[in-house]
């Protein structure tokens, strides 16, 4: 399946919430779907993670079928795979999905995807998958190329492990950095390397510093970071735009509005990701 050459590098957010979907009237402006980010780069479609936002991406692709897409998983906690059984392009003939990730426990990516991502509790049986699925096993630190697109990977600090992805094309870069927890005494060298001079860093800032260090509900070891730590990284390595991502499910639109003001006051290129938001890096 050939893709049409393009001069665009567009990042679109389809799910920006962390841990669990948060639907309702108090989360309308930022969205309640969990992690899913699409990048349309040089004529190719890249998909990152498969939270509930993936369902909406699948619906948007219906007029374009058949499609070819390159799919990358950071890890396999529920909020990053909940949308997989509802991604309609996976269940239609003629579509091709290149599925990348690091499978835990020594399993292959194909085995892990079929047995655990689409497991026995899935509402849609594996046998219904009709798309051409191709699987690729990655190790943190690998670099791969898709024609003139370079994708670097790195280990993130998260329970059971997670992988960050830096996508570079035509002199522009976007770094997808979720889920990860900052270190108490130093900046994470893996994150700094993948974030270097990026046009955009999408950063797991589930908490504020105040929430993270609150003695009544401490979050150390939960595998998530704060927007203040994201700003430190952005300033350290020259990130141009910082997307605060993986919003806490209990953060209402009003709370996120206030955080957005604080982020902007601290780092001019900082903003909060919203469902449906699309950014051009070219």
Range of the domain at 190: 9-280
Give the distance from CA 115 to its chain's centroid.
22
Confidence tier at 128 by pLDDT (50, 70, 90): confident
- Does 4 map to a domain? no
Express as a percent the part of the chain with pLDDT over 90.
Answer: 89
CA distance 141 to 91: 32
Please give the tally of structural domains in the chain.
Answer: 1
pTM over cut 0.85: yes
- Does 35 map to a domain? yes
Q: Each residue of 30-66: pLDDT tens digit?
A: 999 999 999 999 999 999 999 999 999 999 999 999 9
Predicted local confidence at residue 5, as pLDDT: 58
- Does 229 map to a domain? yes
Confidence tier at 122 by pLDDT (50, 70, 90): confident
- Does 1 map to a domain? no
- Does 2 map to a domain? no
- Does 149 map to a domain? yes
Q: Each residue of 105-117: pLDDT tens digit?
A: 889 999 999 888 8
Please state whether 53 falls in left (phi above 0), alpha (psi between -120 and 50) or beta: alpha
- Can you list the alpha helix ranges (DSSP code H) found in the chain? 53-61, 109-112, 189-195, 209-212, 227-237, 253-266
- 8 Å CB contact between 246 and 222: no
Predicted local confidence at residue 2, as pLDDT: 42
Cis peptide before 66 (omega within 30 of 0): yes
Q: Which two tokens stand for residue 150?
A: 């370079």
- Does 195 map to a domain? yes
- Does 3 map to a domain? no
CATH of the domain at 126: 3.60.15.10
- 8 Å CB contact between 48 and 27: no
């Amino acid at each position: 399946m050939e893709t049409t050459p393009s001069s665009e590098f567009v990042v679109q957010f389809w799910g920006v919430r962390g841990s669990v979907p948060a639907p309702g009237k108090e989360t309308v402006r930022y969205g309640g779907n969990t992690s899913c980010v699409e990048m349309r780069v040089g004529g190719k479609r890249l998909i990152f993670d498969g939270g509930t936002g993936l369902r909406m991406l699948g619906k948007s692709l219906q007029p374009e079928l058949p499609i070819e897409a390159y799919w990358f998983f950071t890890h396999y906690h529920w909020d990053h795979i909940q949308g997989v059984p509802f991604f309609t392009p996976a269940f239609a003939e003629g579509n091709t999905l290149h599925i990348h990730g690091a499978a835990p426990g020594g399993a292959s990516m194909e085995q892990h995807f079929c047995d655990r991502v689409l497991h026995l509790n899935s509402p849609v049986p594996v046998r219904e998958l009709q798309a051409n699925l191709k699987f690729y096993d990655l190790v943190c630190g690998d670099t791969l190329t898709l024609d003139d697109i370079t994708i670097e990977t790195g280990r993130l600090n998260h329970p059971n492990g997670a992988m960050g992805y830096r996508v570079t094309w035509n002199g522009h870069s976007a770094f997808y950095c979720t889920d990860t927890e900052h270190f108490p005494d130093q900046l994470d060298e893996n994150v700094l390397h993948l974030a270097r001079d990026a046009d955009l860093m999408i950063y797991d800032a589930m908490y504020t510093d105040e929430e993270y260090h609150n003695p009544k509900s401490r979050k150390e070891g939960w595998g998530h970071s704060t927007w203040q730590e994201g700003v430190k990284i952005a300033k350290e390595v020259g990130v141009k735009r910082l997307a605060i991502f993986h919003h806490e499910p209990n953060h209402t639109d009003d709370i996120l509005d206030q955080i957005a003001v604080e982020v902007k006051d601290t780092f001019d290129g900082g903003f909060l990701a919203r469902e449906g938001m699309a950014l051009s890096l070219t």
